[in-house]
C-alpha cells in the first residue's frame, strides 16, 4: 500500500484482488454503469464484449482469424466461447464432485447387488443341497450344476437391472416435476449409462455366482442321503481371518511407512492397496461372524432371556448365509463409518485452535492512521492490554524458476504477517500460545527481531520440505521484479489458520493461499511498502457483546470516510464508506462446524440409503433361516418352548448379524478413514500432520440404524413363526426336508 499526497485529502495506492473469473459471472449483481460508478467509487470501463457471429461463420473460423490479433493487444484479449465455458464448468470442483458421487453411487450399488445376489444364491445352494445331489446322481455334471447357479445369478441381475433403470428414470421424471431447476436443460437416458450399467450388472452377477457355484459343484451324489448341515472347519475361517488382517495392514503401511514418491503412493493406494483393504474385509467376515457368535452370543441371549445353547452355533452352522448378510450390511455401513471418521479427522487441523486471539479486525480499504489506531484499545469490551497491530500482505512465492512443491499445488502464495515477536511468542503468557514443533520461542524471537527471521506453520514445512535455516522468497505484489526474503527460525503448529485467513480478508490478492508466515512487524511494513495499519488482533472481556464491539470498530473506520486511494489498473477510487470487518474466532469455529457437519452428512446420505436397501438381504437371510429350521422350531414348541421364546430367538439371530456388521464396518471405517487422512498430505491440498479422531456419536447413529433395520427385517418372520402351531411347524418342516 503506497501513500500518495493529493491536495487536502489522503490518497492511498493499493492493488485490487486478483483471481477474477473469466467470462460473464453468474453470481453477480447487474446494474447500470452510473450506479456501478457510485458503488465502486470509480468510473467503470468495459471488460467483457459479447458478440454474435454470422451463421455462415463458425467459432473455430473466427478464432483462427482473430486469436493472434487479440493476443497482440496490450493488455491481451482472449476469446471465450461456449465450449471453453462448458469445459471450465465440467472441470470445476462442483462438477467433478458430482461425477465422483455418481461413480461412488455406481460402485456401492454394484457391491450391494453382488452381496444380495451372493446371499440369495448361497441360501439357495444350502436349501437345495439334496436336489443338487439327486441331479448329480441322475445325470448332471459339476459344470452343469455351476451353469444353473450362473444362469440364476444372471437372471436375478437382469431383472434388477431392468427394475433399476425404470426406477431411476421414474425418479428423474418426478424430480424434474418437483424441482424444475434440477434438470433445466432436460434429462435423457443415454447409451453410456445403459452400456455401463449393463456391463456392471454382468460383471457383478458373475462375481456373485463364483462362490455359490463352487459350493454347488462340491455337492456329491451321496449327499442326497443326508440333510444335516455341515459346520465349516475353524481352520478355514481362521486362515481367512489371518489373510484378511495381512491384506488390511498393507494399506496403512503403504500410506505411512513405505518410502515412495507422492504420485506412486497415490496410484498404489487407489488401485492396489485400497482394493486389498476391501478384499481383506471380505476375508475377515467369517472370523468376525464366528467371533461375534461366541463372544456376543451369550450376551444377546442373556438380554433376551434365552438359553445360550439355542444360539450356540446358529450363525456358524450356516456360515456362508450369515457372511453374505453381514457383508451386504457392511457395504453401506462401512462406507458410512469411513466417511465419518475421515471427515471429522480432517476437520481437526482446520478447526481454529486455542492459539488464536478472540478476533481479527480489518479496516478496509485504506486502513487506520496512527491517531485512529490508538482508538482500538479503547473500544468497550476489548482488553486494552491485549491488542496487537499487524502488517499483513499476501504475496507469491518466488521459487527462482524451479517447479513449485507438488504438495503446494493449490497455493502459490503465502500470507506474510508482521507482528511484535516478543509479545507474540515470549513470556509466560504469550499473545499467541503456539506449540513450537521445531526450534524454540527464544531463538525465533531473537532471529525475528535481529534479522529476517520468520516462523512458519508445520503444514508448510511438510509441503515444501524446507526446515530451519532455509529461506522463503516472495515477489512484491506492487513490483514483481523485487523480492522479499525471510529465513525460517521456527516451526509451529497452527490448526485452523486456513479458515481464519479465508474469512478475515487477509487474502488480499488471491482466493487461495498456501501458508502463513510470522515475521518482524517493521520489516514486513518496509519490505512490502505498507503505510497504514489495516489489521489488529484483539482479545475481549468475558461475556462481551460482539455486535456492540463491531459497531464501535465501524465507527472508527468511518472517521476516514470520503478519502481516496489509487487502485492498480483503475486509478483514483473514493471510499464512500470504509468498513471494519471483525472475524471473531468463536464465530469461525461455529461456521466451520456447521459447514463441516453439512458436508460430511451430505457424503453420508448415500451410504445410509445403501444400508437401508441392504436390509432386504437381512430379510432374505432371516426368512431362509426360519424356513430351514421349521422342523426344529416345531420340536421346540412341542417340548415346551413358548411362542415368545421363538420370536426372541429370531430377533437374537438378526441382532447377532447386525452386531457382526457393526464390528466389521467399524474396523474398515477406522482403517480406511485413517488412511484417507494420511493420503490427504499427498494430494496437494493439505500437507499437515495426519490427525485421527473417532466420532463415536456419529458412528453410534449408523450402528443404531443397522440394529433397527435388522430387527425390522426379522419382524415378520418372527411373528409368523410365533403364531404357527407346533403341528403345522412339524408338517412344514417335514415337507421342506
pLDDT tens for residues 252-267?
A: 999 998 888 888 888 8
Name which of 450, 447, 449 is nearest 468 in CA terms.
447
User: CA-CA distance, 32 to 36, in Å (whole number)?
Assistant: 6
Q: What is the CA radius of gyration of the chain?
A: 34
The pLDDT of residue 49: 79
Q: What is the pTM of this model?
A: 0.78
* pLDDT tens, residue by residue, 42-83: 777 777 777 888 777 788 888 888 888 887 877 778 887 777
Q: Is the C-alpha dihedral spanning 20, 21, 22, 23 positive or negative?
A: negative
Q: Which ranges of the chain have pLDDT less than 70?
A: 1-27, 85-109, 179-189, 223-233, 401-402, 409-410, 565-571, 683-687, 732-737
What share of residues in the chain are helix, strand, coil (percent, to 5)? 60, 10, 30
Element (H, E) at 518: strand 516-520
**What's the DSSP call for residue 281?**
H
User: Are 302 and 563 a contacting pair, CB within 8 Å?
Assistant: no
Q: Is the C-alpha dihedral spanning 516, 520, 526, 531 positive or negative?
A: positive
Element (H, E) at 303: helix 297-303
What is the layout of strands, in order, in the sheet containing 9-14? 2-6, 9-14, 564-567, 571-574
> How far are the Cα atoms of 94, 183, 569, 589, 617 from residue 328, in angstroms, in the given order?
30, 33, 61, 38, 7
Q: Collapsing DSSP states into helix, strand and coil, what is residue 567?
A: strand
Name which of 359, 254, 361 is nearest 581 in CA terms.
361
Name which of 231, 310, 300, 228 is nearest 637 in CA terms.
310
User: CA-CA distance, 723 to 177, in Å (whole number)?
Assistant: 45
User: Are 567 and 14 a contacting pair, CB within 8 Å?
Assistant: yes
Domain boundaries defined on the chain: 285-353+583-737, 354-582
Amino acid at each position: 500500500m503506497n501513500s500518495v499526497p493529493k491536495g487536502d485529502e489522503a490518497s492511498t495506492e493499493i492493488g485490487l484482488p486478483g483471481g477474477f473469473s473469466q467470462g460473464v459471472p453468474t453470481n453477480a449483481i447487474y446494474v447500470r454503469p452510473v450506479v456501478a460508478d457510485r458503488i465502486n467509487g470509480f468510473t467503470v470501463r468495459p471488460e467483457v464484449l459479447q458478440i454474435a457471429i454470422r451463421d455462415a461463420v463458425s467459432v473455430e473460423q473466427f478464432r483462427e482469424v482473430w486469436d493472434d490479433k487479440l493476443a497482440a493487444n496490450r493488455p491481451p484479449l482472449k476469446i471465450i466461447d461456449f465450449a471453453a465455458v462448458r469445459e471450465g464448468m465440467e472441470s470445476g470442483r462442483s462438477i467433478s464432485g458430482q461425477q465422483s458421487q455418481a461413480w461412488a453411487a455406481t460402485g456401492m450399488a454394484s457391491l450391494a447387488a453382488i452381496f444380495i445376489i451372493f446371499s440369495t444364491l448361497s441360501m439357495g445352494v444350502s436349501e437345495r443341497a439334496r436336489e443338487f445331489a439327486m441331479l448329480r446322481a441322475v445325470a448332471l455334471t459339476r459344470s452343469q450344476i455351476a451353469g444353473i447357479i450362473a444362469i440364476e445369478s444372471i437372471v436375478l441381475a437382469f431383472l434388477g437391472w431392468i427394475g433399476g433403470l425404470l426406477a431411476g428414470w421414474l425418479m428423474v421424471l418426478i424430480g424434474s416435476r418437483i424441482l424444475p431447476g434440477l434438470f433445466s436443460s432436460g434429462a435423457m437416458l443415454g447409451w453410456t449409462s445403459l452400456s455401463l450399467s449393463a456391463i456392471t450388472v454382468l460383471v457383478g452377477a458373475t462375481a456373485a455366482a463364483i462362490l455359490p457355484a463352487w459350493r454347488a459343484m462340491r455337492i456329491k451324489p451321496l449327499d442326497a442321503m443326508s440333510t444335516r448341515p455341515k459346520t465349516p472347519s475353524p481352520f478355514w475361517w481362521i486362515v481367512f481371518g489371518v489373510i484378511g488382517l495381512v491384506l488390511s495392514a498393507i494399506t496403512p503401511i503403504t500410506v505411512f511407512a513405505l518410502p515412495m514418491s507422492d504420485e506412486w503412493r497415490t496410484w498404489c493406494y487407489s488401485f492396489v492397496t485400497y482394493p486389498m483393504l476391501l478384499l481383506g474385509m471380505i476375508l475377515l467376515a467369517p472370523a468376525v461372524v464366528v467371533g461375534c457368535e461366541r463372544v456376543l452370543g451369550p450376551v444377546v441371549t442373556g438380554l433376551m432371556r434365552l438359553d445360550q445353547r439355542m444360539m450356540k452355533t446358529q450363525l456358524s452352522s450356516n456360515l456362508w448365509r450369515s457372511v453374505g448378510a453381514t457383508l451386504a450390511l457392511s457395504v453401506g455401513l462401512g462406507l458410512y463409518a469411513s466417511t465419518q471418521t475421515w471427515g471429522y479427522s480432517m476437520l481437526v487441523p482446520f478447526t481454529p485452535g486455542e492459539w488464536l486471539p478472540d478476533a481479527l479486525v480489518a479496516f478496509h480499504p485504506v486502513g487506520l492512521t496512527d491517531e485512529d489506531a490508538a482508538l482500538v484499545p479503547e473500544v468497550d469490551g476489548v482488553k486494552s492490554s491485549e491488542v496487537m497491530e499487524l502488517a499483513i500482505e499476501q504475496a507469491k512465492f518466488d521459487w527462482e524458476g524451479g517447479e513449485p512443491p507438488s504438495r503446494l499445488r493449490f497455493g502459490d502464495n503465502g500470507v506474510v504477517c508482521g507482528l511484535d515477536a516478543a509479545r507474540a511468542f515470549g513470556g509466560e503468557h504469550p499473545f499467541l500460545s503456539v506449540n513450537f514443533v521445531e526450534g524454540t520461542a527464544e531463538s525465533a524471537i531473537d532471529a525475528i527481531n535481529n534479522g529476517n527471521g520468520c516462523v512458519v506453520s508445520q503444514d508448510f514445512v511438510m509441503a515444501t520440505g524446507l526446515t530451519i535455516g532455509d529461506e522463503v522468497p516472495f515477489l512484491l505484489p506492487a513490483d514483481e521484479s523485487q523480492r522479499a526474503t525471510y529465513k525460517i527460525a521456527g516451526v509451529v503448529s497452527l490448526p485452523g489458520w486456513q479458515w481464519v485467513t479465508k474469512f478475515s480478508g487477509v487474502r488480499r490478492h488471491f482466493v487461495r493461499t498456501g501458508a502463513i508466515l510470522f515475521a518482524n512487524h517493521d520489516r514486513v511494513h518496509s519490505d512490502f511498502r505498507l503505510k497504514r495499519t489495516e489489521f489488529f488482533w484483539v482479545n475481549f472481556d468475558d461475556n462481551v457483546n460482539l455486535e456492540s464491539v463491531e459497531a464501535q470498530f465501524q465507527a472508527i473506520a468511518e472517521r476516514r470516510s470520503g478519502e481516496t486511494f489509487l487502485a492498480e489498473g483503475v486509478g483514483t477510487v473514493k471510499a464512500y464508506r470504509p468498513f471494519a470487518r471483525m472475524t471473531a474466532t468463536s464465530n469461525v469455529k461455529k461456521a466451520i462446524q456447521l459447514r463441516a457437519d453439512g458436508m460430511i452428512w451430505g457424503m453420508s446420505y448415500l451410504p445410509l440409503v445403501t444400508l437401508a436397501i441392504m436390509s432386504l438381504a437381512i430379510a432374505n437371510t432371516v426368512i431362509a433361516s426360519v424356513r430351514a429350521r421349521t422342523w426344529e422350531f416345531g420340536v421346540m414348541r412341542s417340548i415346551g418352548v413358548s411362542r415368545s421364546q421363538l420370536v426372541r430367538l429370531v430377533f437374537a439371530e438378526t441382532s447377532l448379524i447386525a452386531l457382526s456388521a457393526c464390528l466389521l464396518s467399524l474396523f474398515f471405517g477406522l482403517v480406511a478413514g485413517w488412511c484417507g487422512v494420511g493420503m490427504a498430505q499427498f494430494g496437494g491440498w493439505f500437507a499437515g500432520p495426519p490427525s485421527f479422531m473417532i466420532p463415536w456419536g456419529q458412528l453410534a447413529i449408523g450402528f443404531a440404524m443397522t440394529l433397527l433395520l435388522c430387527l425390522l427385517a426379522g419382524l415378520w418372520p418372527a411373528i409368523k413363526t410365533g403364531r404357527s402351531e407346533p403341528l403345522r411347524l412339524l408338517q412344514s418342516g417335514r415337507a421342506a426336508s
